[in-house]
Structures are given as C-alpha cells and as structure tokens.
Amino acid sequence: MIFSTVITSSPRVCLPKATRPIFRRTIRCSATSISPRFDLKTYWTDLIKEIDQKLDEAIPVQYPNQIYEAMRYSVLAKGAKRAPPVMCVAACELFGGNRLAAFPTACALEMKRQALQPHDIRRGHGNISRRRIVPSRLSPHRLTHPNRSRPETRLLRVIAEIARAVGSTGMAAGQFIDLEGGPNAVDFVQEKKFGEMGQCSAVCGGLLAGASDDEIQRLRNYGRAVGVLYQVVDDILEAKTETEENKKKGKSYVSLYGVDKAMEVAEDLRSQAKKELDALEKYGEKVLPLYSFVDYAADRGFSFAAPV
C-alpha cells in the first residue's frame, strides 16, 4: 500500500506472473506509457537510492541518541518503496524542475507518511515511547535546496499543501471516518486515506517547478486517482487469498460491493488518471514516469529486490 497510512503485513508487491490480469476488460496501456525507451523499475529504483541517502543525511544521530535512533528506525526502514517522494520528484521534473531542489520536499513527504503509520513498537527501538517518533521537516529552510532556488511563495504553497493533506480535512479525517463512520462513507475514506498522499505528492512536485494552476489541478486529480487505484487493487488481491479468520476490516470497495464492482472502480480510476496526463502531452517523454505509475498501480508488473 504505497500511498497508504496503514502498514500491510504482506510483503507481496506484484502479481504472480502465472496468474491472469486483474482486470477482465480494460487492461490496455496508454501508447505513451508503454514506450520501450522508459523503464519505470530502473527509474524508481535509482530514485530510491538517492532518496534514502537524503533521508539518511537529514536525520543525523544527536543527543539524546535514543530519540534520533528511533527516528532513523522509522524512516530508514529497508525495502521501503518511497512512492510519495518518487512521485514528487517525477512531477517536478515534468515541468523542468531540478530533482536536487525537489529532494527536501520529497523527504518531508516520506517523513509525514511514516509519521501517520500505526504504532510499530519493536524490541530495542520502541521502548522509549508508545508512539512512532518521526522528525519534522516542514519549515521552509528544510523544504528547499541550499541554493534557495525555489521562490518562497512556492515553498509556502508546498507547506500549505502538506498541512492540508495530513490534517483534519485530509488523511486524519479518512482514518477517523474509517473507524467511526457508516458503510456509505467508503468513497470518502478511500479518497482521504489513500488519495490524499498521492495528490499531495504530485502537487508538491508541480508547485516546486512552477506549474500553472490548471496543471496543478491536473496533478491533483491524477495523484488522487493513482493513490486510490493502488489501494483498490491491493484490496482485490488480498480478497483472493483471505479467509474469514484473517478478513480485513475497514471500509473498502471490496468489502462493501465485492470484487467485481471493485474491478470496475479500478478501471475507472485508471482511465481518470491517464485522462489527466493526456492533457500534459506537450511535455513529451517527461510525462512517461507518471503514466507508468498508473500501470504499475493496476498491474504490479515488477517487484522490488528484497533488501540484503
């Protein structure tokens, strides 16, 4: 669940190659997204290495050591896919931005995603607190490259976007309604819990690069659709293997409407995301990473190497 605020216990990130595709009808890729010149796995894996290095540099161990070690344990977990920061960087580069200028914001997004994870108390790391300890990096000087290449107005919009996404009208609201709301709240829960981080990641990248208001709205719609799409597909895959004993709780399209209806929802989300990107075709091959994220969310066409 790469844009999720919930940790899954399953290590699976792709469909077994021997199985049939998830979707019965619409499994087609955009002509742009299947370009042989772009390899999403290589692009994503290389960015993970750079982002991990930046996260490592952002959280040096200081006194008191235990606090910073707990921070590093939460944020630097091996095998993390870093989807929010990768999408942020991809959106920034789409509009001509420099990834070095995007990395601080990208790292802030990953830290916020980790801060919203459920408690993960483990021996030797969680005994200093009953809460996950994650550093805060939302001040303007933390969100930009040291060369101050991003205008302050853009940074203020980035800060406001992140605050909105994680606050009482964003992911926090989705988590609350998932626990307290009725079954008819599934659209709200899915959009807030899983769509908010996707749209925030894409929008922040666009803001840093100076995208227009219309382009920002395109990114918002795109990111929301991709975030929810990934979770819907995740729920479909889990539904195929779960039993009554380990049946997943929470408000999802699978639990409310069943697998067939959830497949239709996923198809619609995939189409919505690509429709938004079609309007950005003037940027040529720079849009390929964002197109490919859509297909990965639906198809899980590759897996990430297990950490050594």
Q: Which residue has the tokens 């509009």?
A: 95
How many CB atoms are located within 10 Å of the residue 9 CB?
A: 5
Q: Which residue has the higher pLDDT, 31 or 169?
A: 169
The whole domain housing 285 covers: 40-239+247-299
Q: How far apart are CA 54 and CA 168, in angstroms?
A: 29
The token pair at 250 is 């929470």
Can you give the CATH number for the domain in which 274 is found? Answer: 1.10.600.10
The token pair at 53 is 């290095």
Is residue 235 in some structural domain?
yes
Q: How far apart are CA 240 and CA 302, in angstroms?
A: 19
User: What is the secondary structure of 174-222 as a DSSP string?
Assistant: HHHHHHHS-GGGHHHHHIIIIIHHHHHHHHHHHHHHT--HHHHHHHHHH
Q: Which of 91, 115, 56 is CA-nearest to residue 200?
A: 91
pLDDT at position 246 is 58
Is residue 51 in some structural domain?
yes
Structural domains of the chain, count: 1
Is residue 88 in some structural domain?
yes
The token pair at 275 is 């429709």
Is residue 25 in some structural domain?
no
Q: Which of 81, 109, 76 is CA-nearest to residue 205?
A: 109
Tell me the per-residue pLDDT of 44-89, one tens digit each, with 9 for 90 and over. Answer: 999 999 999 999 999 999 999 999 998 899 899 888 899 999 999 9
pLDDT band of 189, cuts 50, 70, 90: very high
Is residue 63 in some structural domain?
yes
Is residue 32 in some structural domain?
no
pLDDT at position 183 is 75
> Degrees (nearest 5) of the Cα angle 159, 103, 52?
120
Q: Which residue has the higher pLDDT, 3 or 78?
A: 78
Is residue 270 in some structural domain?
yes
Kindly report the pTM of this predicted structure: 0.81
